[in-house]
Structure 1
């Protein structure tokens, strides 16, 4: 990872003539500080953007139930994109699911079998629209003590086809492989059954329906509002942000970003702990 702590190290995106209409920002490692807080400076910048008529969308790998860290900072529309694009939720309604782009159970099961063969020792968790469940060997979710513990095959089974809750995403963990090596292996293994990414510093992969990403769901939300990619400013730090940063007309890699994110973004800002998102928003508003 690279880092940048001085605002003078920020690299502005190329100047354009299009006035931003929407800001799309990742949370962990981007908008949130490492202690998972939102700084007063960032809160003020988000509110100022909304007052200026610029919508703010939180676009995260987090599930809806883990959005309490920013739920007070969603303004008019109330919407957030969760689970790497697999869910659109209304935070004004307590995280109610507005849209789910599911991973078909047969595809999830095929991915499980393929990864078990390609990377022995892989353990899985299954994120359903109703909550998370995981295998005995998977690192436990301390925030979800009520989860069912069983093999992924059992967790994905349905009594009657089509009767189960939608699979929002599949998570795969390996205790020995490096994060990037595991991601490369999984992408080569899953063919076109699923989209695979990662946002954790550990070898933890996030697997969604094929074609589902932060970028594709953000594009849908923007199209519904008549907002073009050129009118979007995006922020991110990890591989699950790459497609979104490449899609947006203007994008910023955080000072703490993964090298792939730096390569995909059109600009760079300072690290999350130094309020890198707020630094750029302030600059945007000053130019209006």
Structure 2
């Protein structure tokens, strides 16, 4: 499989932050962004069992889905390059076809991913058998990985994240795009620990049903103690409010890295806000999972 994977990822305490100390809260960051230089964020955890299944099944191509700023598309393209597997990314938004690629899609294309743009109505139906069959007819046979990489294999892969955090924190926070990481993380945590997911999509409470479905498929039923707090989307996916921008810049000045605004900054803002609200009793230890590559 892919070399140079760094597991377990580092766990680093945030020091000298009066917003936490004043509430009696200790916070660590789980630097899953440092797992591998070419796989941004924690995508290795979600991909590696799918990659093994694709190779074991003799597939020469991966087909997956994502938005224009998808870290998952970038990671799948990088994994394909490293393993010698062709990759195709179905991208939401046919209006993007023919335009200059943004940095995320440009990186995926540079790693060999074939990009296929579809209109948003078709993209919403991507899970329907007839839509998927038509895409495979058009683009060629492939091992299909769902949007965000979230399926039962991804959830099982992310269970190791929870296992690495057993005994280290009372509460674990993670950003949620499709729910696969939270489904596995919660399953891997130990008794007395709970996970909080922070959807980066507006109206992200719908992910609760998806997380339950993923846990059913991956583990045979509900696992772990988890909940969603959908107040910190800051306008929706890839949207950045002035409040979030200011928080991320302040965090970078205090702690040495600026969290990415699509995922990690929203999760950190949520955890710091909960601490300020008194949601964590004095003496609580919190771990924040850094799933996206810092911007500075």
Normalised TM-score (structure 1)? 0.40
* Structure with greater contact order relative to length (CA < 8 Å, sep ≥ 6): 1
TM-score (norm. length: structure 2) = 0.39
Which has the larger helix fraction? 2
